[in-house]
Amino acid sequence: MFDGYTTSELLSIFAMQGFAGLSLFSVFVLMALGLAIIFGQMGVINMAHGEFMILGAYTTYLTSNLFQSYLPSLFSGYFFVAMLLAFVVCAALGALIEWAMIRHLYRRPLDTLLATWGLSLIMQQAYRSIFGAREVGVELPEWMMGAIQVTDLVELPINGLFVMIIALAIALGVYLLMYRSGWGRKVRAVVQNRPMAEAVGINSAGVDRATFALGCGIAGIAGAAFTMIGSTGPSSGQAYIVDTFLVVVFGGAQSLIGTIVSAFSISQAQSTMEFFMSGSMAKVLTLLVVVGILMLRPEGLMALKVRR
Amino acid sequence: MGTTTTAAGRRPSGTRKGLRGSLWTLAASVMLASTAQAAVPPTPEVNTTGLAVTDDTVKVGILHSITGTMAISEIGSVQAEKLAIDQINAAGGVLGRKIEYVQEDGASDWPTFAEKARKLLRQDDVAAIFGCWTSASRKAVLPVIEQYNGMLYYPTFYEGLEQSPNVIYTGQEATQQILAGIDWAVKTKGAKTFYLLGSDYIWPRTSNKIARKHIDKLGLKVVGEEYYPLGHTQFNSVINKIKLKKPDVIFASVVGGSNVAFYKQMKAAGVDFTDEKPLLLTISVTEDEIRGIGGENVNGIYASMKYFQSLDNPNNQDFVKAFKAAYGDDMVIGDVTQAAYLGPWLWKMAVEKAGSFDIDKIREASPGIEFTKAPEGYVRIHENHHLWSKTRIGQAQTDGQYKVVYETPELMEPDPFPEGYQ
C-alpha cells in the first residue's frame, strides 16, 4: 500500500499516526479513570458512567451558551470554567446517587449493575426531556480548533493535544490523591480491609461517598473534554461505555496503573490496526486479542495481590 | 393518545366483521336521509374493509421512535407528518373526513415497531401508517403490514432493493441520491479518485456498492473503502489514510453520533472543506445533523439530497413558514422531514383519486399521482411505489444551511433494483 510515496511522506504519516494513537490513549485514560476508581476501590460497576460523562458535556454546553450571552469577551477561556463546573456538578450528583441508591446495594454487585443501568436509562430520558432528543452543538473558542503545522505534511490537531494534557493532569492528580495524600491512604485502607479500617476510626461510609463522587466528577471532566471530539446527545454516553469497561477490565479491576497500561496497549493496537485494515475489522481484532489475554489472565494485566 | 373510539372499536373482536356489516347497513339506511345535504360520500361506500372511518373522521397511525437513540432523527418526521395532517384537516380533510391520528412510540427498538404496527392495524384499524425511519424498523414492520394489508408511508432515503405493495417510499432509494451526486462531482469538479467511507451497516454498504459500480463504469478509481462501527468516535487513523491517499472526493455515509466526531476531527486535523482538497460529498448529513455537528465544522462540504431547507420556490417558502410557526423559529428541516411531510398528502390524494379508503383501491390509485405542492417542487409516484424526484447538490454554510449549487434538470427515475449494481 506504500508504493509511490516518498520517504518523507511516509515518515510524516507515521508521525501523525503515532500521534493519533497517543490521542486515543488519552481519550481512553480519561474515560476509564473515573470508572476504575469506582470499580476498583468500591467494587461497584457503574453502568451510568457514560451518562455522567454526558452530564459533563451538557454542563459544558450550558456554560458555553452562558458565556456567549453574558460574557462574550471571556469566551475564549470558558472551557476551563466549564471543566470545573462539570466536575462539581457530576461529583455532586454522584454523591447524591451514592447516598440515595448505591450505599444500600453494597456487596450486591448484580443488583448494583441493574440499578445503575436503570439510572443510566433515567438519565438519558431526562436529557432527552430537558435538552431535546437532538444532539446539541457545543461551540469551541477559536484557539481550540484547527491544527499546528509542524512540517508541510505533519499537522497536529490542537484539541487532540489539549485532551492529552487534560488526561495527563488528571492521571497525575489522581495518583497524588490516591498514593500521596492522607485521604488516599484511607481509601486504600478501606479497600484492603474494611472492618480493620473502621476499627482504627476511618469513616468508611464517608470514604465511599467521596470516592464515588470523585469517580463521577472525573467522568464529568472527561465528558467536557469530549465535546471537542465527539457528539453531545442524550445517548452519546453509550458510545464510550463499552471501550471504558474494556480498558478497566483488561487492566485489572483494582489497579489504577493497570488501567493506564491497558489504555495504552489497547489504543496503540487499535490505531495501528485501523491504519492497515478497515475500522470494523480493527475493532474485531482488538476485542479478540483482549478476550484471548483475559482467558490467560482472568484478573487482567495488573492484578493486585490481595489475601483472599 | 388514541382516545377516539368508533363503534367498531367497542365491539368484541371475534364477531366484528359480521356485526360490522349489519351495523353498516343500518347506519347506511339512517344516513341515506341525511347525506343529501353534503357532498361527503357515505361511509359504507368508501370503507368496505372495516377501517376506522366514520362519517366525519378517519383514523391514521404515526409510528416513530420518540424515545431511544433514534429519537434524534425521527422527531422531525413526526412533526412534519402532524403538520401535514393539520393542514389537510384545515383544508377540509380527506373525502370530507377529518384525520385523527394515533401516535405510537417505536422506542428505537425493532420488535417494538412490529408490535405497535400490529396494534395500529388490528386494534385501531388505521387507514394508513406514517412511520418507520431506519431500514431495520421498516423490515420489522413489513411482514405485519403485508399480513394485515395496511399501507405504510416510509420517509427515509434508503438502500433500495425493496418494493412492497403495502409501502409507499417517499424518500429516495439509493441510486437517485448517489448516481446524480457522483456524476456531478465528475462533471463539474473533475473528480477522478474516490474514497468511500461509511458506518458499518446495510445502508452505507449498499450505497457504496452502488457508488463503486458507478465509479468503475465511468472508468475512474476508488482508492479506499472503509466502514466504522455505529457510534465510533475516533477517526484519526482514517483521516491519516485519507491524507496519504489524497483522493479527489471523500464519499461519506457516516451516520449518527459518529458524524459529529468525524467532522470535528477532520476540522481539527487541519482540513478545510472549502478548499475542496479533497472535496467531501455526503449522502447522510442533512440540516438536522448539522445542528449537532456545528456549522463551522462542516462549512464547505457538499450533500446530495432531494431537498434542502433553502430551496427557493413558493411551495417551500410556505412549508418552512408553516413548520416554523408550528414548532418554533429555531427549527431546521432536513431531507427526511420534508419526505415525511409528503406522506399524508400523497395518501389523501390517493384516497380521493380512488374515492375510497380501501387499501387495495389506494394501492391501485397511487401510481401516477402527482403532487405539485410538494416543498421539493414536484413529485410523482412511480409504478414501483417510489417517487420521481429531482436530486440536488448543496454546499454547507457556516449557519448550518445548504446553498443549492446544482439540480438535476429532469426528475430522477426511482430504480430500487438497479441492474448491474447489485
3-state class percentages of chain B: helix first, strand second, coil last, to nearest 5? 45, 20, 35
Q: By three-state DSSP, how is residue B193 classified?
A: strand
In chain A, the number of structural domains is: 1
B residues 235-254 closer than 8 Å to A (CB): 236-241, 243-244
Q: Whole domain around residue A165: which residue ranges?
A: 26-236
Residue A114 maps to a domain = yes
Q: Is A17 on the interface with B (CB under 8 A)?
A: yes
For A2-54, what is each residue's pLDDT tens digit?
Answer: 666 778 777 887 888 888 889 889 989 998 999 988 887 788 889 999 999 99
pLDDT interval class at B385 (50, 70, 90) = very high
d(CA A199, CA A222): 36
C-alpha distances (whole Å) from A294 to each of A127, A299, B120, B237 are 36, 7, 48, 26
End-to-end CA distance of chain A: 53
Work out the number of other CB atoms within 10 angstroms of the CB of residue B192: 16
For B270-313, what is each residue's pLDDT tens digit?
Answer: 888 999 889 999 999 999 889 888 888 999 999 999 999 999 99
CA distance B76 to chain A (A): 10
- What mean pLDDT do residues B169-184 have? 92
For B46-86, what is each residue's pLDDT tens digit?
Answer: 999 999 999 999 999 999 998 777 777 788 999 999 999 99
Nearest CB to A280 within list B71, B228, B268:
B228
Q: Is A137 on the interface with B (CB under 8 A)?
A: yes
Chain B residues touching residue A135 (CB < 8 angstroms): 72, 257, 260, 291-293
Q: Is B205 on the interface with A (CB under 8 A)?
A: no
For B86-113, what is each residue's pLDDT tens digit?
Answer: 999 999 999 999 999 999 999 888 999 9
Q: What is the pTM of this model?
A: 0.82
Q: Do B227 and A278 touch (CB under 8 A)?
A: yes
User: Is residue B325's pLDDT more than 70?
Assistant: yes
Residue A248 maps to a domain = no
A residues 164-223 closer than 8 Å to B (CB): none
Q: Is B268 on the interface with A (CB under 8 A)?
A: yes
Of residues A256 and B412, more confidently modeled: B412
d(CA A259, CA A253): 8
Q: What is the pLDDT of residue B8?
A: 39
- What mean pLDDT do residues A144-160 have? 80
What single-letter DSSP state applies at residue B214? H
Q: Do B233 and A239 touch (CB under 8 A)?
A: yes
CA distance A64 to chain B (A): 13
Q: Do B292 and A274 touch (CB under 8 A)?
A: no
Chain A residues touching residue B75 (CB < 8 angstroms): 132-134
Nearest CB to B237 within list A17, A234, A239:
A17
Q: By three-state DSSP, how is residue A145 classified?
A: coil
- What mean pLDDT do residues A263-271 have? 89
Residue A275 maps to a domain = no
Cell numbers at B314, concatenated: 413558493
Of residues B126 and A268, more confidently modeled: B126
Give the best residue of B234, B293, B327 to mutate against chain A (max A CB count within 10 A).
B234
User: Is residue B14's pLDDT more than 50?
Assistant: no
Give the best residue of A235, A277, A281, A287 to mutate against chain B (max B CB count within 10 A).
A235
Cell numbers at A133, concatenated: 432528543
Nearest CB to B268 within list A159, A233, A282:
A159
Q: What is the pLDDT of residue B400?
A: 92
Q: What is the pLDDT of residue B37?
A: 42
Q: Are A27 and A168 in contact (CB under 8 A)?
A: no
Which residues, 6 or more positions from A167, have their beta carbon under 8 angstroms from its beta carbon?
Answer: A25, A26, A27, A29, A30, A225
User: Is residue B25's pLDDT more than 60?
Assistant: no
CA distance A225 to chain B (A): 13
Q: Which residue of B has its CA nearest to A27?
A: B234
Domains for chain B: give ranges and CATH numbers.
7-172+329-388 (3.40.50.2300), 174-305+390-407 (3.40.50.2300)
Cell numbers at A96, concatenated: 447524591
pLDDT interval class at B5 (50, 70, 90) = very low
Q: Do A146 and B259 touch (CB under 8 A)?
A: no
User: Is residue B7's pLDDT more than 50?
Assistant: no
d(CA B260, CA B235): 11
For A74-132, what is each residue's pLDDT tens digit?
Answer: 888 899 999 999 999 999 999 999 999 998 988 788 889 999 999 999 999 899 889 88
Chain A residues touching residue B233 (CB < 8 angstroms): 27, 226, 229-231, 239-240
Q: Is A118 on the interface with B (CB under 8 A)?
A: no
Q: Is B399 on the interface with A (CB under 8 A)?
A: no
